[in-house]
């Protein structure tokens, strides 16, 4: 019995690691912080302000309403894209019938990871990728924490609150190995277990001819939207904490 209990977390962690790895291989997932912010902030900022944002963070040049507008645009875009792709994969017949559920989950979390990077960059987090657009183990662990927050995991919320207090505007994200060991493994296990349930729910919709497409798209829509909103809510709370400590510029 004890051996079986130990194997379950291991399989769950491995599942999340596999999905994370495959999702990051999708061409749209890795977000170049500088390119993304330069494009988005040009809608509201002067070239000099964009430069300031890249060096010190968007919170130094954007108002809260501008952050909200850009964040909501990102959420709407990815929500539309992920739901549309899910509907196509829900159609019966064709090339997608082989391994449909794994592909659907991979693209779902691909959009989750892409949106997550865009939102945290808007709210002042440093780049997760290096100069070669690669992610190291610490960045993957941070991604896991953020996905945990998006899925409503209280442990992930607690971990990111602690992580945020350690951040500085001009340095990379720093987190102790003790915190990573304490939180990330358990959160990865939890995500893996919940992905199994999610995959089953989507699979039920796909086995029903013609009805599978709208069911798949609907499940995706009503799963993705609250995840995006949870992350934005958490980032808003961290923003408010920064306002209290004078760490952001606030309204112009």
Highest mean pLDDT among 3-7, 83-87, 100-104, 150-154: 150-154
Angle, CA 207 vertex, CA 203 and CA 212 arms, to 5°: 85
Q: Which has more pLDDT, 126 or 182? A: 126
- Give per-residue pLDDT as tens, 30-80: 999 999 999 999 988 999 999 999 998 898 999 999 999 999 999 999 988
pLDDT greater than 50 at residue 29: yes
Instruction: Give the pLDDT confidence score for residue 204 in this predicted structure.
Output: 45
pLDDT at 58: 93
190-241 pLDDT, tens digit each: 888 887 766 545 544 444 454 455 556 666 777 888 999 999 999 998 888 7
Q: What percent of the chain has pLDDT over 90?
A: 35
d(CA 211, CA 192): 27
Segment 110-133 shows an average pLDDT of 91
Residue 98: CB atoms within 10 Å: 8
């Amino acid at each position: 019995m004890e051996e079986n209990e130990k194997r379950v977390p291991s399989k769950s962690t491995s599942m999340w690691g596999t999905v994370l790895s495959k999702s990051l291989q999708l061409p749209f997932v890795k977000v170049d912080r500088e390119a993304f912010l330069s494009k988005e902030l040009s809608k509201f900022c002067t070239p000099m302000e964009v430069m300031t944002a890249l060096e010190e963070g968007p919170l130094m040049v954007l108002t809260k309403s501008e952050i909200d507008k850009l964040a909501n645009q990102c959420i709407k875009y990815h929500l539309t894209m992920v739901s549309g792709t899910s509907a196509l994969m829900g159609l019966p017949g064709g090339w997608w019938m082989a391994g449909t559920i794994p592909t659907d989950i991979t693209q779902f979390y691909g959009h989750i990871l892409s949106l997550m990077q865009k939102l945290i960059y808007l709210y002042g987090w440093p780049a997760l990728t290096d100069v070669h657009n690669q992610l190291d183990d610490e960045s993957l662990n941070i991604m896991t924490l953020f996905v945990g927050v998006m899925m409503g995991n209280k442990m992930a919320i607690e971990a990111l609150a602690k992580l945020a207090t350690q951040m500085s505007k001009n340095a990379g994200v720093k987190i102790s190995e003790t915190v990573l060991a304490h939180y990330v493994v358990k959160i990865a296990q939890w995500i893996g277990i919940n992905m199994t349930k999610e995959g089953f729910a989507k699979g039920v919709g796909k086995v029903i001819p013609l009805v599978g497409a709208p069911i798949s798209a609907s499940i995706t829509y009503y799963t993705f939207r609250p995840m995006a909103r949870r992350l934005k809510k958490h980032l808003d709370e961290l923003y408010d904490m920064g306002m209290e400590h004078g760490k952001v510029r606030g309204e112009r």
